[in-house]
Structure 1
Amino acid sequence: MTHKIILLACLAVSVCGAAKVPVAIYYESLCPDSAKFITEQLYPAMKTELRDFVELTFVPFGKSQFFTQGSEVTFTCHHGPNECYGNKVHACAIEHIQANSYQVEYTRESLTLDFINCLMRAGKNFPDNVYPGQRCATENHVNNWENIKTCANTTDGSILLRKAGETTQRLKEPLTSVPTILFNEQFDKKVNERAQVNFAGTLCKYVSAPQPRICAQHNGAMGLVGTGSLLSAILGIWFMRQLFN
């Protein structure tokens, strides 16, 4: 009986503990296409149950360049100096945002996503030319804006942005468009283009069974079930029958 319980537990883990899909977003803070993708595709999808199936990485650099002279690092950015500052704010936020034990409804990942979405939604038009970092932090329960701002205005921000640049430069396929979206650390031009108009549906192609309901809405549940996913589904049915027999 003990061995049977252990076997059932192992099957439960294999059926229910699906691995998260690594998704990396290479973007620029003032890029209109980046803003459109993050606010209209990525953010709405990540506010559904799909968030539990994704390991999300933001890389705020894009087509920027950096030059090192001694200990100094200078940047040139696709949309000008303001974008360089914005990229630093994003890089510092990704590094420094932390969840608080008294706000259990917010995770580090959800706070970062909400903050970045707010910044991208603001676009290039800032009221009174004030960067929306303080406002977006306040609106989205990010309590350490001062630390983020200090980081962005010091060498700490430059170091983090350079790291984002180095990560971008290490791509196997050199970045040619922004945003660029990688699934499972692999670049595919068609997948990248499809993700920008249907991120949720594209992500579902990579999610193992049991899939969230939203995947059925986007692609048809059976159309997405591959051999491995079908086996997991069969094991799941067998597990439930054994459990209640």
Structure 2
Amino acid sequence: MSHKFVLLACLAVSVCSAAKVPIAIYYESLCPDSAKFITEQLYPAMKSELRDAVELTFVPFGKSQFHTQGAEVTFTCHHGPNECYGNKVHACAIEHIQANSYQIDFTRESLTLDFINCLMKAGKNFPDNVYPGQRCAAESHVNNWENIKTCANTTDGSVLLRKAGETTQRLKEPLTSVPTILFNEQFDKQVNERAQVNFIGTLCKYVSAPQPRICAQHNGASSLVGASALLSTLLGIWFVRQLY
């Protein structure tokens, strides 16, 4: 094999294996805005071809607070004690979910995403006050719910939730709204707000070429919307002028 061919092959590999976009989601387990973003914006995007372009990190803490006294850690959560438990379940799931060799259709990341999406979709509406962890585990093909539940009900869950709190407190810009979305470990208020209503369009601006087809489709749709808005504006101006 010639040196030129080796060089071209290496260049081809480097182009095809573009770096993934690091995205961190700072959220709360019972926050309606967090649920809306994860279920309506993030989840559909991560079920598209964009999933291969993203390195996703979940941080389930938000505006909660923790206090350490000796070996004991106590938490005060934005939406009450049930959210503290929910945050622990999320933290334990993120830590303990694993794909098995026979689950060829699932990865650790996809199982975690499906499980979190199911929990967030349930929101605060728990029939008979039963937390939907076991149901969501079954629906999401997560086979170690008992381990996750044990973690959430012991000091292991407290340790993991405290770590999420410490990660949240280390943000360069203190967290003021939930959810908060960071691209490339950088907080930008406008990007954060735009991502919550148009996550795919926002993400596509960070994805290296060649971009997935969904980005081209989205850009085309955005162009049509923009052209339609411009046409409506021009027609409105023309109509007003006809009145005078």
Fold match (TM-score > 0.5)? yes
1:71 aligns with 2:43: no
Residue in structure 2 matched with residue 41 of structure 1 by the alignment: 41
Give the distance between the partners of 2:206 and 2:99, measured in 1 at CA: 28
Give the distance between the partners of 1:211 and 1:17, measured in 2 at CA: 12
1:141 aligns with 2:158: no
Residue in structure 1 matched with residue 129 of structure 2 by the alignment: 129
Residue in structure 1 matched with residue 87 of structure 2 by the alignment: 87
Q: SS of the counterpart of 1:68? A: strand
What do the CA deviations read for 1:203-238 (whole angstroms, capped 9, x no partner)? Answer: 0100001110001122249x9xxxxxxxxxxxxxxx
Give the distance between the partners of 1:207 and 1:9, measured in 2 at CA: 22
Give the distance between the partners of 1:146 and 1:168, measured in 2 at CA: 27
User: In structure 2, what residue type is equivalent to 1:159?
Assistant: V
What do the CA deviations read for 1:129-165 (whole angstroms, capped 9, x no partner)? Answer: 0000000000110000000000000000000000000
User: In structure 1, what residue type is equivalent to 2:142?
Assistant: V
**Offset at residue 93 of structure 1 (A):** 0.1
Residue in structure 2 matched with residue 166 of structure 1 by the alignment: 166
What do the CA deviations read for 1:71-111 (whole angstroms, capped 9, x no partner)? Answer: 00000000000000000000000000000000111000000
Q: SS of the counterpart of 1:118? A: helix
1:190 aligns with 2:190: yes
Q: SS of the counterpart of 2:128? A: helix
Give the distance between the partners of 1:15 and 1:77, measured in 2 at CA: 45
What do the CA deviations read for 1:24-52 (whole angstroms, capped 9, x no partner)? Answer: 00000000000000000000000000000
Residue in structure 2 matched with residue 201 of structure 1 by the alignment: 201
Q: Which runs of 5+ in 1 are unaligned?
A: 224-245
Q: SS of the counterpart of 2:75? A: strand
Give the distance between the partners of 1:60 and 1:30, measured in 2 at CA: 10
RMSD: 1.2
Q: Which runs of 5+ in 2 are unaligned?
A: 224-244
Give the distance between the partners of 1:129 and 1:156, measured in 2 at CA: 24
TM-score by length of 2: 0.89
User: In structure 1, what residue type is equivalent to 2:55?
Assistant: E
Give the distance between the partners of 1:70 and 1:149, measured in 2 at CA: 24
Q: Aligned residues, how many?
A: 222
Q: SS of the counterpart of 2:56? A: strand
Residue in structure 1 matched with residue 96 of structure 2 by the alignment: 96
User: In structure 2, what residue type is equivalent to 1:17?
Assistant: S
Residue in structure 2 matched with residue 58 of structure 1 by the alignment: 58
Give the distance between the partners of 1:65 and 1:40, measured in 2 at CA: 27
Q: Which runs of 4+ in 1 moved over 6 A?
A: none
Same amino acid, percent of matched pairs: 91
Give the distance between the partners of 1:217 and 1:81, measured in 2 at CA: 43
Residue in structure 2 matched with residue 228 of structure 1 by the alignment: none
Give the distance between the partners of 2:93 and 2:200, measured in 1 at CA: 25
User: In structure 2, what residue type is equivalent to 1:187?
Assistant: F
User: In structure 1, what residue type is equivalent to 2:204?
Assistant: C
Give the distance between the partners of 1:8 and 1:75, measured in 2 at CA: 55
TM-score by length of 1: 0.89
